[in-house]
Structure 1
Amino acid sequence: MKTRTFFLLFALTIIACQPKESVDILITHAEVIDVETGEIWSDQMIGINDGTIVFISDDDAKDYNAKETIEADGNYVIPGLWDMHIHFRGGEELVEENKSLIPLFLANGITGVREAGGDMTQKIFEWQDAIEAGTMKGPKIFTSGPKLDGPGGTWAGSIPVTTQEEAFEAVDSLIDLGSDFVKLYDSRISRDAYIWILEEAKRRGIKTSGHMPFSVLLNEAVEAGLGSVEHLYYVLKGTSTEEQEVTDDVIAGKASFWGSMNRLMATTTKEQEQAAFNLLRDNNTYVTPTLYIGNVLTYLKEVDHANDQYLNYVGDGIIDTYQGRIRSALNANEEFTQMRIDLNNTFVNLVPKLHKAGVTLLAGSDCGASNSYVYPGESLHGELKALVDAGLPEIEALKAATINGAKFLEVDSFYGSLKTGKSGDLLILNDNPLEDISNSKNISGMVLQGKVYTKSDMDAMLESVRKK
Structure 2
Amino acid sequence: MRLIFTLVLIASLFNSCGNQPPQFSAAIHNVNIIDLETGKILKDQSVFIAGDSIHSIVKSKDLLTSSAAQQIDASGKFLMIGLWDNHVHFRGGKELIEENKNILNLFIANGITTVRDAGGDLTTSVHEWQKQIADGSLAGPTIYTSGPKIDGHGATWAGSLEVSNDKEINTALDSLEQLNVDFVKIYDSKISGENYLKVITEAEKRGMITSGHMPYSVTVEETTNAGIDAIEHLYYVLKGCSAEEIAITEAVKNNEAGFWTSLDRVLKTYSYSVAQETFSKLKENNVYVVPTLHIGHTLSHLDETDHTTDPYLKYIGPGIQKTYAGRINSAKNASPEFVVMRKNLDSAFVKLAGVLAANDVNVLAGSDSGAFNSYTYPGISLHKELKALVNAGLTPLQALQTSTSNGSKFLQKQLPEIRSGATADLLVLNKNPLDNIENTQDIFMVIKSGKTFSSEDLENLLKTSTY
TM-score range normalised by the length of the shorter chain: over 0.9
1:358 and 1:391 map into 2 onto residues whose CA distance is: 13
One-letter amino acid matched to 1:387:
L
Instruction: Answer whether contact 1:107 1:462 (CA < 8 A) is retained.
Output: yes
Q: Where do 1:243-254 residues align within 5 Å?
A: 243-254=245-256
Q: 1:19 to 1:410 in 2, by over 3 A?
A: closer
Alpha-carbon distance in structure 2 between the residues aligned to 1:153 and 1:20 = 58
Do the aligned partners of 2:30 and 2:75 also contact (CA within 8 Å) in 1?
yes
Aligned residues: 453
Deviations 1:27-84 (A, max 9, x none): 1111111111111111111122222122223263145311212111120111111111
**Counterpart amino acid of 1:193?**
N
User: Could you tell me how far apart the structure 2 residues matched to 1:71 and 1:220 are?
Assistant: 54
Which residue in 1 is equivalent to 2:116?
Answer: 114
Query: Aligned partners of 2:274, 2:128: CA distance in 1, in Å?
Result: 46
Shift of 1:349: 0.2
Aligned partner letter, 1:183:
K
Deviation at 1:430, TM superposition (A): 0.5
| Contact 2:430–2:439 (Cα < 8 Å) also in 1 | yes
Deviation by residue 1:129-184 (Cα, 9 ceiling, x = unmatched): 11111111110001100000000100000000111121122112101111111000
Separation in 2, partners of 1:420, 1:355: 31
Deviations 1:97-142 (A, max 9, x none): 1111111111111111000111111011011111111111110001
Once the two structures are TM-superposed, the CA of residue 423 in structure 1 deviates from its matched residue by: 1.6
- Residue in 2 that maps onto 1:57: 58
- Does the 8 A contact of 2:283 with 2:360 survive in 1? yes
Q: Deviations over 1:311-341 (max 9, x none)?
A: 2111111101101000000111110000001
**Distance in 2 between the 1:209 and 1:124 partners?**
19
The correspondence of residues 147-186 of structure 1 with structure 2, limited to 5 A, is 147-186=149-188
* Distance verdict in 2 for CA 1:437–1:18, change over 3 Å: closer
Q: Is the 8 A contact 2:289 2:363 kept in 1?
A: yes
Q: Hey, what does 2:43 align to over in structure 1?
A: 42
Question: What residue number does 2:311 align with?
Answer: 309
Q: Distance in 1 between matches of 2:155 and 2:11?
A: 66
Unaligned runs of 5+ in 2: 1-6, 15-22
What do you get for the CA RMSD once the two structures are aligned? 1.7
SS of residue paired to 2:457:
helix
Which of the residues 267, 290, 301 maps onto 1:288?
A: 290
- 1:455 paired with 2:455, answer yes
CA distance in 2, matches of 1:411, 1:223: 24
Q: Aligned residue for 2:344?
A: 342
> Offset of 1:462 from its aligned partner?
0.4
Kept in 2: contact 1:148–1:160 (CA 8 A): yes
- For 2:102 and 2:69, how far apart are their aligned partners in 1? 31
Q: Return the offset for 1:226.
A: 0.9
Shift of 1:381: 0.6
- What whole-Å deviation, never above 9, does each CA across 1:232-266 have from its counterpart, x for those lacking one? 00100111111111000000000110111111111
Task: State the shift of 1:24 in Å.
Answer: 2.4
What is the SS of the residue equivalent to 2:61?
coil
Rg larger for: 1
Q: Deviations over 1:356-399 (max 9, x none)?
A: 11111111000011100011101111101111111111001101
Of 57-66 and 101-110, more deviation after overlay is shown by: 57-66
**In terms of mean alpha carbon deviation, does 233-242 or 21-30 score higher?**
21-30
Distance 2:368 2:410 in 1: 17
- 1:264 aligned residue (257, 262, 266): 266
2:292 counterpart letter in structure 1: T
Structure 2 residue aligned with 1:146, among 142, 148, 161? Answer: 148
Measure the CA separation in 2 of the matches of 1:404 and 1:117. Answer: 19
d(CA) in 1 for partners of 2:13, 2:454: 26
Q: 1:8 is matched with which residue?
A: none
**Structure 1 residue 354: Cα displacement:** 0.5
CA contact (8 A) 1:32 1:77 kept: yes
| Kept after mapping to 2: 8 A contact 1:362/1:400 | yes
What amino acid does structure 2 have at the position aligned with 1:60? K
What one-letter code is carried by the residue in structure 2 that aligns with 1:154?
T
Q: Paired residue for 2:423? A: 423
State how far apart, in whole Å, the 2-side matches of 1:185 and 1:286 are: 16
Q: Which residue of 1 aligns with 2:25?
A: 24
Distance 1:19 1:380, change over 3 A: closer
- Please state if 1:465 is matched with 2:457: no
Distance (Å, rounded) in 1 between the aligned partners of 2:279 and 2:13: 53
The alignment partner of 2:164 has SS state of coil
Q: Distance in 2 between matches of 1:274 and 1:294?
A: 23
Counterpart for residue 193 of structure 1: 195
Relative to structure 2, which stretch is displaced further, 351-360 or 182-191? 351-360
Work out whether residues 36 and 397 of structure 2, in 8 Å CA contact, stay in contact via their aligned partners in 1.
Answer: yes
* Distance in 1, Cα, partners of 2:373 & 2:214: 19
Q: Please, which moves more after superposition, 246-255 or 22-31?
A: 22-31
- More divergent stretch after superposition (180-189 vs 33-42): 33-42
Superposition TM-score, scaled by structure 2 size: 0.94
Equivalent residues in 2 for 1:48-447 (5 A)? Answer: 48-58=49-59, 60-62=61-63, 63-413=65-415, 416-447=416-447
Structure 1 letter corresponding to 2:58: S
**CA separation in 1, counterparts of 2:156 and 2:251?**
22
Contact 2:29–2:60 (CA<8 Å) still a contact in 1?
no
Deviation of the 1:420 alpha carbon: 2.5
Tell me the SS of whatever aligns to 1:336. Answer: helix
Q: Is the 8 A contact 2:396 2:437 kept in 1?
A: yes
Letter in 2 for 1:140: T
% of aligned pairs identical? 47
SS of residue paired to 1:172:
helix
Amino acid aligned to 1:376 = P
Moved more, 365-374 or 59-68: 59-68
Query: Which letter does structure 2 place at the counterpart of 1:46?
Result: V
Q: Distance in 2 between matches of 1:299 and 1:388?
A: 20
What secondary structure is seen at the aligned counterpart in 1 of 2:364? coil
Shift of 1:209: 1.0
